[in-house]
């Protein structure tokens, strides 16, 4: 067996802890170090895992193959570039960064270092998404006419109180970056890039604790000619309600639904039907709120498969950049209803 791949994590909050669990669980990987600003992050670390307050020190002191960047959105670019310049591959949490300029700097640093950036878009592994992706790629759905994306989640005061970067324009970027970039990624993954955008956003019930919108509606045209409607809110009353994407196409209609793209909720297809899929218990549960499907084990496995077996990267840096580009297009076009 090859040597274990040595991982470190910067940012040991909600998602950093999940990365740690999966790295420790995978037989081909080992967790060697954690970096976080908070003292609490240093308590209860497994034996042999070193703790650092500064990423630069960690990178200088430890022999690391891969760094998982799990810090707030605005730190993805500097932390990724620091790791690449130290000769370390990077797994970067979503969103890849807060602008395409930042993404371009990250990609240039990876090319210069000869290292790889793995963008985290774990919803691509959701079984319903995989089935629909195969359906589209096989040509069985024919031309896609219209795509409807609904993201109706709830984010309450406790969520914003938990971490000081959330809801801040410069650190978080807004709901399209933090909550709904997963859905923009699946829209891009299934239907391609966006050609034109019109939309409206507003902050209805989070004005007391956020600087960003909490609701929006966009009408877009995709490069493939399809009309795309994208509606989102974090004001769904008391709990997440729906996270869905519906495709209306020449040879079928299919809806991936549930709260987090976890079921095939509707299908009417020419030819053979897709398997019934209804996964109800596998979202990331953070106690105060529910996130997306918990597929980070597959993200870590993909890193191993790429680095040890020359496999294909599930989500490349260029794809992570394209998602950021679509979000930029949406915010650029959006008007506030005030
Ligand atoms: N893929 C997913 O489903 C998913 C889910 C949740 C969060 N995320 C992403 O992960 C990132 C973190 O989100 P979170 O919810 O875990 O946030 P969090 O606030 O719970 O954790 C962030 C951690 O980073 C630490 N940190 C901040 N600045 C640092 C610095 N300069 N050096 C070292 N550590 C620093 C904080 O102390 C904190 O422990 C965000 O980009 C978010 O969008 C992805």
pLDDT digits (tens, 9 = 90+) for 39-93: 999 988 989 999 999 999 999 999 999 999 999 999 999 999 999 999 999 999 9
- C-beta of 201 in contact with ligand 1 (< 6 A): no
Q: Please give the distance, rounded to the nearest whole angstrom, from the Cα atom of residue 76 to the centre of ligand 1.
A: 9
Q: Judging by DSSP bridges, how do beta strands 50-52 and 29-35 pair with one another?
A: parallel
16 CA → ligand 1 middle, Å: 7
User: Atom 24 in ligand 1: which residue has the minimum CA distance?
Assistant: 11
Ligand 1: atom nearest CA of 12 is 39
Average pLDDT (284-297) is: 72
For residue 260, the model assigns a pLDDT of: 83
CA 78 to ligand 1 center in whole angstroms:
14
**Residue 338: pLDDT band by 50, 70, 90 thresholds?**
low
Which has the closest alpha carbon to 183: 231, 131, 143, 142?
231
pLDDT for the residue numbered 294: 76
For 276, residues 6+ apart whose C-beta sits below 8 A from its C-beta are: 264
Ligand 1: which atom is nearest the Cα of residue 121? 1
| Cβ–Cβ < 8 Å for 251, 270 | yes
Residue nearest to atom 15 of ligand 1 (CA): 14
Of all residues in the chain, the percent with pLDDT exceeding 70 is 95
The structural domains of the chain, with segments of one domain joined by +, span 5-119, 124-292
Ligand 1 centre and the CA of 282: distance in Å?
21
- Tokens representing 69? 């960047």
pLDDT at 123 over 90: yes
Residue nearest to atom 5 of ligand 1 (CA): 15
| Buried b or exposed e, range 322-333, using 16+ CB within 10 angstroms | bbbbbbbbbbeb
* pLDDT at residue 282 is higher than 60: no
Q: Does 18 score more than 60 pLDDT?
A: yes
Q: Is the pLDDT of residue 242 over 90?
A: yes
Q: Is the CB of 173 under 6 A from ligand 1?
A: no
Nearest to 154 by CA among 75, 239, 279: 239
- CATH dotted code for 5-119: 3.40.50.720
CATH class for the domain made up of 124-292: alpha beta
Q: How far is the CA of 166 from the centre of ligand 1 (A)?
A: 10
Q: In what order do the strands lie in the sheet with 252-257?
A: 263-269, 252-257, 242-249, 144-152, 227-233, 215-222, 194-202, 334-336
Report the separation in Å between the CA atom of 87 and the middle of ligand 1, taken as the mean of its atom positions: 23
What is the arithmetic mean of pLDDT over 158-164? 94
Biggest CA-to-CA distance, the chain: 61
CA 15 to ligand 1: nearest atom: 16
Measured in Å, residue 25 CA sits from the centre of ligand 1 at 21
Q: How far is CA 205 from CA 103, 158, 202, 218, 234, in A?
A: 31, 14, 9, 19, 9
Cis? peptide before 157, omega within 30° of 0: no
Domain 5-119 shares a fold with domain 124-292:
no
pLDDT of residue 281: 52
For 179-211, what is each residue's pLDDT tens digit?
A: 999 999 999 999 999 999 999 999 999 999 999
How far does the chain reach from its first CA to its final CA, in angstroms? 61
Q: Which atom of ligand 1 has the smallest separation from the CA of 163?
A: 19
């Amino acid at each position: 067996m090859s040597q274990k791949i040595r991982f470190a994590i910067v940012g040991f909050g909600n998602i950093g802890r999940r990365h740690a669990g999966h790295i420790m669980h995978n037989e081909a990987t080992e967790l060697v170090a954690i970096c976080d600003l908070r003292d609490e992050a240093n308590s209860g670390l497994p034996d042999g895992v070193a703790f650092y307050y500064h990423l630069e020190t960690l990178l200088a002191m430890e022999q690391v193959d891969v760094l998982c960047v799990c810090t707030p959105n605005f730190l993805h670019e500097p932390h990724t570039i620091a790791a690449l310049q130290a000769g370390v591959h990077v797994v970067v949490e979503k969103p890849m960064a807060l602008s395409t300029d930042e993404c371009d700097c990250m990609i240039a640093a990876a090319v210069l270092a000869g290292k790889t950036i793995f963008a985290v878009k774990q919803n691509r592994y959701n079984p319903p998404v995989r089935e629909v992706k195969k359906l589209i790629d096989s040509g069985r759905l024919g031309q896609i006419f219209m795509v409807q994306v609904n993201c109706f989640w709830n984010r309450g005061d406790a969520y914003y109180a938990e971490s000081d970067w959330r809801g801040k324009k410069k650190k978080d970027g807004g709901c399209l970056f933090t909550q709904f970039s997963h859905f923009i990624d699946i829209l891009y993954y299934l239907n391609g890039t966006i050609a034109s955008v019109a939309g409206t956003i507003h902050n209805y019930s989070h004005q007391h604790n956020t600087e960003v919108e909490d609701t929006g509606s966009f009408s877009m045209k995709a490069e493939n000619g399809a009309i795309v409607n994208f509606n989102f809110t974090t004001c769904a009353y008391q709990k997440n309600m729906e996270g869905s994407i519906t495709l209306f196409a020449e040879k079928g209609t299919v809806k991936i639904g549930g709260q987090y793209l976890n079921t095939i909720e509707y299908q009417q297809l020419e030819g053979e039907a897709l398997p019934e899929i209804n996964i109800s218990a596998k979202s990331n549960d953070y106690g105060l709120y529910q996130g997306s499907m918990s597929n980070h084990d597959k993200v870590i496995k993909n890193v191993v498969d790429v680095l040890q077996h020359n496999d294909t990267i599930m989500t490349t840096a260029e794809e992570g950049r394209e998602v950021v580009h679509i979000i930029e297009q949406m915010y650029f076009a959006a008007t506030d209803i005030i």
